[in-house]
Structure 1
Amino acid sequence: MNGSRSDTFFQQFRHWDLNLLVVLEALFTEQGNVTRAAQRVGLSQSAMSHALNRLREMLGDPLFVKQGQRMQATARTVALAPQVSAWLEQIRQQLNPPQFDPATIRQEVNIAIHEHLERLILPSLLGVLRRQAPGIHLHSRPVPMALLTEAFAQGRVEMAIIGGDWELSEAFRQQLLTESRFVYIYHAEQLTLNEPVSLAELATVPQLASNYSHKTATIIDNHFTAHGLSRPIMATAGGITAIPAILRECPMLAILPEIMVVDHPLFDGLVMRPFEPEQVRAELYLIWHRLHEHDPVQQFIRERIIQHFADRNTVSPALPA
């Protein structure tokens, strides 16, 4: 941008209607025939005549003069018309969205994803990129929720996949990817529970919590509280990877989103049962900054993520209710 422009440079455009240059192009193309030029632009004949009068006033020239049965372009029009035509074509090309070919793009994309969520999306997404857009390099960034706004502001991430526990400002957009009920999990050699287990009975069983998402933990705690109960949390793990091993060693149960564990090989051999199947749900969102709303690469990645979860929601295995 040219920062040396004077105020006069900007103010003179207050008196010019650059839309009229399209009218000039149409009139010159139709050799001053107002009726045919009006049809080209999509105006009535009277509106085109009015636009021509405004053009004459703006440019200080009659532009087209009637000679016999024809309109003759003035010297000013003949000199100006090719420049206007070239300028309009240049602007048209620049304003049109560029052609996007994912196979030829070379770009890095950074997504904030916690480790426990990577398994849900990265294998599929990276497979798609390898086949369709090998030049797009995807990087997962495990950004703590409290630092997510800062990470966006610093350009360290362009989008994030998170639980529904982030206060969304006007600078961001979001898309719900999926909802998941919760399951309670334990090892049959460590705990003996008479199924089905009521909420009150679960509140008496030692529990292992996970702080992978503050909101998810709060959902469960609030559900117990709403029923006048509290769950005895004996230990907390930073993610879900260690939870199966802990449950095999300790007489505790864990309550986790079904989507996180139902097809996870580490949880094979553990007992899984629905926790209040239709009452408590975990939500997963895709978040992105408005700055990248129309970036074609960002759009390409977002569409693949959204489609992945749409397909998963259709065929995802589930526990019996």
Structure 2
Amino acid sequence: MHNMNNGQSDAFFQQFRHWDLNLLVVLEALFCEQGNVSRAALRVGLSQSAMSHALNRLREMLDDPLFVKQGHRMHPTSRAIALAPVIAGWLENIRGQLKPPVFDPATVQQEINVAIPEHLERLVLPALLGFLRQQAPGLHLHSRPVPMSQLNEAFAQGRIDMAIIGNDWEPKASYQHCLLTESRFVYVYDARQLHFAESVSLAELAAVPQLASNYSHKTATIIDNHFTVHGLTRRIMATSGGITAIPAILAECPMLSILPEIMIADHPLFDSLVKRPFEPDSVRATLHLVWHKLHEHDLVQHFVRDWIIRHFAGPPD
């Protein structure tokens, strides 16, 4: 994190208790109108009496008359003449710094690091990278594989800017998150290895040899918990580290695998497998986008987050 401590003393801050910096805007208006109180008042939206009161406060604050009447005109003092360009430059600089920045994705030169599990990359990266290539060619996006247990550390160290995660990670209060989508579960198997009746009970599924997937990097999944709630235990015979090898394993072994439908929908490796809904449909996997609150208003990150959210929302009705 950037160290913002510039070593200013307590006296530096305390002297501003006696200075009303809002009066510098009044002083600039008086400069522009050559000390004419009435016209300066119109500039800043004050009444003439309020402007006169502000001028008196300026004189007290700066210990100088600033403008002196000679004949029918007000003339600046040497102190006012010296201050005029300084105040004008300072106000213009502050105005430029405080006004909302203009964001042009076509001119951005930046890197964004997103933690995306490998089995979800195909849902996001092809379309996102295609979009960035057209709209923000200088924005380089990198997918970083980060285990769930290391997400907090990765955020804290700045190794990732945002993450697409499942429903088995609880973000801290310092994070913002958005639900991207929900998915029901399905169980998949190779018809050459297993055969099922039209209706299969949860107990019957529990008795079938199963291939678990450690895609979430957690020992107990919501599927395991669902079986446990009903007094059952899955007959897990093997576990794969991801989902890519699952079709080949099921083609060789009489096992089934229970997976979120979103992970395998339209996945060519799973075309040869039978896919059946896992009941009840209320057992669902959720997908979230997570980012740190520090970057809530970062224009580049907001640009990427907005695309991801709209991508999962699908086309408008």
TM-score after normalising by structure 2: 0.89
Matched, 1:98 2:101: yes
Gaps of 5+ in 2: none
Matched, 1:275 2:278: yes
Alignment of 1:38-53 (within 5 A): 38-53=41-56
1:125 pairs with 120, 123, 128, which one? Answer: 128
Matched, 1:144 2:147: yes
SS at match of 1:259: helix
- What corresponds to 2:253 in structure 1? 250
Alignment of 1:128-277 (within 5 A): 128-214=131-217, 218-276=221-279
Alignment of 1:279-318 (within 5 A): 279-311=282-314
Q: How many Å separate the matches in 2 of 1:275 and 1:216?
A: 20
Q: How many Å separate the matches in 1 of 2:219 and 2:304?
A: 26
For 1:202, give the aligned amino acid: L
1:78 pairs with 77, 81, 91, which one? Answer: 81
- What corresponds to 1:88 in structure 2? 91
Tell me, yes or no, if the aligned pair for 2:185 and 2:281 is still in contact at 8 Å: no
Worse-superposed segment, 222-231 or 265-274: 222-231
Task: Report the CA distance shift for 1:32/1:278 in structure 2 as closer, same or farther (over 3 A).
Answer: farther
Q: How many Å separate the matches in 2 of 1:222 and 1:290?
A: 32
Worse-superposed segment, 257-266 or 204-213: 204-213
SS at match of 2:314: helix
Shift of 1:35: 4.5
- What corresponds to 1:318 in structure 2? none
Shift of 1:264: 0.5
- What corresponds to 2:59 in structure 1? 56
SS at match of 1:195: coil
Tell me, yes or no, if the aligned pair for 2:147 and 2:217 is still in contact at 8 Å: no
Tell me, yes or no, if the aligned pair for 2:167 and 2:288 is still in contact at 8 Å: yes
Shift of 1:277: 5.4
Worse-superposed segment, 27-36 or 52-61: 27-36
Task: Report the CA distance shift for 1:225/1:38 in structure 2 as closer, same or farther (over 3 A).
Answer: farther
Q: How many Å separate the matches in 1 of 2:42 and 2:222?
A: 62
How many residue pairs were aligned?
314
Shift of 1:216: 9.7
Q: How many Å separate the matches in 1 of 2:225 and 2:27?
A: 68
For 2:104, give the aligned amino acid: D
- What corresponds to 2:13 in structure 1? 10
Q: How many Å separate the matches in 2 of 1:218 and 1:230?
A: 12
For 1:62, give the aligned amino acid: P
SS at match of 2:96: helix
TM-score after normalising by structure 1: 0.88
Q: How many Å separate the matches in 1 of 2:281 and 2:37?
A: 68
For 2:205, give the aligned amino acid: L
Q: How many Å separate the matches in 1 of 2:55 and 2:218?
A: 63
Shift of 1:278: 3.5
SS at match of 1:81: helix
Instruction: State the percentage of identical aligned residues.
Output: 75
SS at match of 1:99: coil
SS at match of 2:173: coil
Worse-superposed segment, 45-54 or 76-85: 45-54
Q: How many Å separate the matches in 1 of 2:77 and 2:235?
A: 90
Cα root mean square deviation, aligned: 2.5
Shift of 1:162: 1.0
Shift of 1:100: 2.4
2:30 pairs with 27, 31, 35, which one? Answer: 27
For 1:218, give the aligned amino acid: T
Task: Report the CA distance shift for 1:254/1:23 in structure 2 as closer, same or farther (over 3 A).
Answer: same
Shift of 1:3: 4.5
Tell me, yes or no, if the aligned pair for 1:165 and 1:214 is still in contact at 8 Å: no
Q: How many Å separate the matches in 2 of 1:242 and 1:25?
A: 71
Tell me, yes or no, if the aligned pair for 1:216 and 1:282 is still in contact at 8 Å: no
